[in-house]
Amino acid sequence: MDTRHALVDTSLGALTVVAADDAVVGLYFPGHWYLPPEESMGRRVDHRDDPLLARTAAQLVEYLAGERTSFDVPTATHGDPFQEQVWAMLREIPFGETTTYGALAERLGNKALAQSVGQAVGHNPISIIVACHRVVGSDGRLTGFAGGLARKRTLLDLEESDASKAARLF
């Protein structure tokens, strides 16, 4: 397996993008809560020299500039069956919308799974592309985000519609 990683300078800091063969398998913030072991990220490359990493970097920059609402790079996750179910649901949350941990747990058939859902969301290996930032607390509050709450707020603000922004009181 050809595993490699690159640092991509963005408005959110230098993001680490990890690719294995022909799929993105990781995207991590500086200070990310749950980093995989460094040796699992493969060799470091310049993203401009790797077609998949270059395409991913370009799409990240476009997204963060408000010029893109979805990603079309191939991805692969390797979690346990429960994590994979949760991560599949994250992929279904539309741009500009949010859901709650409880709502995801209900979709899995048991609202009591909300904490387990939160753990799976927190261990999502492909932040931003698999949009874990779109999951909020039951009262709409921002809760845990492996990249930090300030980055979560930035991502949600980026996706907020003009109409929603205009309706805000603050």
Q: How far apart are the first and last CA of the chain?
A: 50
Closest CA to 153 of 162, 140, 163, 138: 140
Contact 3, 35 (CB under 8 A): no
Runs of H (alpha helix) within the chain: 51-64, 81-92, 101-107, 114-122, 149-159, 162-167
Residue 60's region, left for phi above 0, alpha for psi from -120 to 50, else beta, is: alpha
Paired sense of beta strands 13-20 and 3-10, if any: antiparallel
Amino acid at 154: T
Query: Could you say which of 132, 135, 136, 155 is catalytic?
Result: 132
132 is catalytic: yes
Active-site positions read 132
